């Protein structure tokens, strides 16, 4: 079991085991997925994955997590054997939560336009549901976000760099999504 909002606690535990992780600029931690009990907790199974986004040079150090135990929400979890996965060549990309500091969807949209322009990323996007997440700065708001129509080189850049704040708490980390058809 894990609390539904576990990302910040997960980061704290990983930073305890990997002393360099808190200062790693491109490091990010995906939220762990499980079955929602409806009571603020997730039920995990043995195939549940812990996914960490990290620069390839840090992979050997990251793999030292295998066999380590972390404690989140009063629960003890053992980290299994790690394996690497390259960034995806596919688009569209989806992030469960992107936090820019803006609470309003229109301001958030303007933030995303500005960030994509600064990165020279050519993409269309769809803003999704508002999300809240606990971070080192307290509870913050963000929105789910899908980027589509990305050239492959832009897809790689977005996956490497992310968008917005709180990457260590699971925000702004993009993964491949099968299609935008389900959203349109």
pLDDT, tens digit, 9 for 90 and up, residues 12-23: 999 999 999 999
Query: For the stretch 138-176, what's the b/e string if a residue is b when 16 or more beta carbons lie within 10 angstroms of its beta carbon?
Result: eebbbbbbbbbebeeebbebbbebbbbbbbbbbbbbbee
- Chunked into runs of 10 residues, the chain (184 residues) has average pLDDT values of 90 95 92 90 90 93 95 91 88 93 95 96 93 88 94 93 93 84 48
Q: What is the pLDDT of residue 122?
A: 86
Mark 55-87 as b/e (b = at least 16 C-beta within 10 Å).
Answer: eeebeeebeebeeeebebbeeebebeeeeeeeb
Query: Per the omega criterion (within 30 degrees of 0), is the bond before 92 cis?
Result: yes
Q: Which residues of 5-37 are buried (b: 16+ CB within 10 A; e: fewer)?
A: bbbbbbbbbbbeebeebeebeebbbbbbebeee
Per-residue pLDDT of 90-118, as tens digits, reads 889 999 999 999 999 999 999 999 999 99
- Look at strands 69-72 and 124-135 and give their pairing: unpaired
Residue whose C-alpha is closest to residue 10's, from 66, 71, 63:
71
> Is the CB of residue 48 less than 8 Å from the CB of residue 6?
no
Question: What CATH topology corresponds to 93-176?
Answer: Alpha-Beta Plaits (3.30.70)
Please report, for the chain, the start and end positions of each structural domain, with discontinuous segments joined by +.
Answer: 2-78, 93-176
Q: How far is CA 6 from CA 40, 72, 112, 122, 178, in A?
A: 10, 7, 25, 33, 26
Per DSSP, what are the bridge partners of residue 94?
146, 175
Predicted confidence at residue 181, as pLDDT, reads 52
Quickly tell me which residue has 């933030």 as its tokens.
111
């Amino acid at each position: 079991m894990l609390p539904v909002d576990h990302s910040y606690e997960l980061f704290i535990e990983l930073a305890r085991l990997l002393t360099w992780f808190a200062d790693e600029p491109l490091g990010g931690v995906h939220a762990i997925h499980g079955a929602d009990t409806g009571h603020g907790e997730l039920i995990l199974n043995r195939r549940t994955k812990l996914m960490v986004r990290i620069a390839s040079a840090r992979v050997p150090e990251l793999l030292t997590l295998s066999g380590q135990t972390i404690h989140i929400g009063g629960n003890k979890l053992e980290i299994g054997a790690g394996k690497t996965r390259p960034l995806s060549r596919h688009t569209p990309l989806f992030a469960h939560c992107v936090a820019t500091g803006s609470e309003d969807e229109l301001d958030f949209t303007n933030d995303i336009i500005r960030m994509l322009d600064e990165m020279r990323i050519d993409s269309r996007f769809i803003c999704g549901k508002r999300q809240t997440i606990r971070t080192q700065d307290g509870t913050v708001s963000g929105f789910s976000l899908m980027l589509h129509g990305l050239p492959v080189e832009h897809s790689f850049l977005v996956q490497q760099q992310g968008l917005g704040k709180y990457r260590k708490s699971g925000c702004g980390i993009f993964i491949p999504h099968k299609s935008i058809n389900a959203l349109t």
